[in-house]
Amino acid sequence: MSRFFIELYLDEDVDVLIAQLIRARGFAVVTTQEAGQLGNSDAAQLAYAVSQHKTLLAWITAPATFGHSE
């Protein structure tokens, strides 16, 4: 895949089925579970995504909650 396209890092709240569907379309996806990052804080998830040059895809269930669980 060309570096023109983003590579996704899926937060643990995003269903793994989403990863499978995105991969089926030829895109690079890593889940929190695959990366060994389950249970880490929102800030740690974002830091990991940045360190791996990936775009974080998170499932936010309530307004303005990302990063406020710490």
Classified as helix, coil or strand, 69 is: coil
What was the pLDDT predicted at 6? Answer: 85
Domain spans, the chain:
8-57
Amino acid at 30: V
Give the residue ranges of DSSP H helices in the chain: 16-24, 42-51
Strand positions, DSSP E, the chain: 8-10, 29-31, 55-57
- 8-10 and 29-31 as β-strands: parallel, antiparallel, unpaired? parallel
pLDDT at residue number 64? 60
Place of tokens 């880490």: 40
Each residue's pLDDT expressed in tens, for the chain with a length of 70 residues: 455 678 999 999 999 999 999 999 999 999 999 999 999 998 999 999 999 999 999 887 766 655 665 5
Confidence (pLDDT) at 60: 75
pLDDT score recorded for residue 3: 56
Output the pLDDT for position 22: 94
